[in-house]
Structure 1
């Protein structure tokens, strides 16, 4: 059960996203709270060090306590504790191998692999291991959501190895594939790690559109396709939405 005062305080803190300084009226408008309630909560947050007020302009901003707390956020711990239960549920329901991965140190890094013992286990990506960006679903997805500058640098310094005949090794074609992935919001890779296997990957995105992590699944290609569409795409997109919510990522309104 939510504590209303805490939810209101959290909404005030979240209103400072992309807004370093705000007036009382701006905060009230952003949160939907009346000015009296907003002012009372702000006074409490100031007393706790979470908010500061400029004595000249009377505008409010986040306090140094926020910076201290942010420096101690353990991203990968949060990801695993939140994402693994969701992926485990899917693995048991679909009898597939599920992967949690992140973009780390210019690599596609596997944080966890979950397998349901009644299905075939796909072992191509070890926990703590990396894959070439042109191999599998999640590596391409993770790269597709990087900045153009990062993509340029990685393609300049890293080769696209010919893992097998199905992988893309030509850089112009690979760039086009990355653009397609970014536009549609998911990747479905067939035969580009091993023939007869397929992988479906979806992103968990931050509020600014950057990628937090990738959720992916792998199995025999006939199990992964219905017509011309990945069989479990809707379930994977829903899983990503659940992980976002559990991480506390605010959904942006459609107008933003």
Structure 2
């Protein structure tokens, strides 16, 4: 066993032990973390609270179990692993945001959450602030969260549906049966159009980004004023067509990155 450095800070080492205890585990109870680290219960609780306060650990309000937080996921997004989706998507979304007065997003699915990797806005139009980089939205609200959950395996969808849906506005879908129907519709049409369900007056349009083997790498989406993105029958065809073309460009860049 490697001897610890004389400059080792015990509190930091203990906090890292707590984080490392989540390896290959979606969630843990306080007892699970205590057993995995060998720390006493009081110390483990204090470390978990400190990590929660800084966003590195989150706690499910229903089950009271702990899981990795969004701050750690945001750090992980900066680690190269085959390709960096944010870096690959950024120039494409910058061009998209410059063509339309919208805010463009790239996001990924992570254990029941959809995390915003980047948000790009051109100063010509209204900037949408509802989704910060590194932040998440309720799984039943917004374009990308519903789209990325819709493409998960059935057992994963059902697991996430055990969480209570959030009513952010009166347009938010909170009935689980209606959500299952919406997920089926999303898979069929290959996009999600979320009208007023995060903030009244604002709408999001999201499409998937796929890897060369056909799996879902993430989603790109745009958000803007509802009248701007809607027509009588649904999303404005110009916006949808341009968003799909942007996804194809990102997919080609992913393929090139994988071949490099």
Please classify the TM superposition score into its range, dividing by the shorter chain length: 0.5 to 0.7
Structure 1 residues not aligned, in runs of 5+:
1-72, 250-256
Describe the SS at the equivalent of 1:248: helix
1:154 partnered with 2:151:
no
| CA distance in structure 2 between the partners assigned to 1:94 and 1:155 by the alignment | 34
State the Cα deviation string for residues 112-147 of structure 1 (Å, max 9, x = none).
000111210000000000000111101000101111
Distance 1:114 1:76, change over 3 A: farther
Q: How is 1:52-201 mapped onto 2 (pairs within 5 angstroms)?
A: 74-75=80-81, 78-156=84-162, 158-201=163-206
Offset at 1:229? Answer: 3.5
1:223 partnered with 2:228:
yes
| Selected match of 1:210 from 208, 211, 215 | 215
Describe the SS at the equivalent of 1:130: coil
Contact 1:98 1:217 in 2 (8 A): yes
- Counterpart in 2 of 1:235? 242
| CA distance in structure 2 between the partners assigned to 1:145 and 1:224 by the alignment | 24
State the Cα deviation string for residues 160-211 of structure 1 (Å, max 9, x = none).
0111111111101101101100111000010100111110000002344331
Describe the SS at the equivalent of 1:226: coil
Offset at 1:106? Answer: 1.9
Offset at 1:75? Answer: 4.3
Rg larger in 1 or in 2? Answer: 1
State the Cα deviation string for residues 24-51 of structure 1 (Å, max 9, x = none).
xxxxxxxxxxxxxxxxxxxxxxxxxxxx
- Counterpart in 1 of 2:252? 245
TM-score (norm 2): 0.65
| Ranges of 4+ aligned residues in structure 1 off by more than 4 Å | none
| CA distance in structure 2 between the partners assigned to 1:149 and 1:209 by the alignment | 20
| CA distance in structure 1 between the partners assigned to 2:171 and 2:82 by the alignment | 32
Task: Kindly tell me the number of residue pairs found equivalent between the two proteins.
Answer: 177
| CA distance in structure 2 between the partners assigned to 1:212 and 1:76 by the alignment | 12
Distance 1:76 1:196, change over 3 A: farther
TM-score (norm 1): 0.66
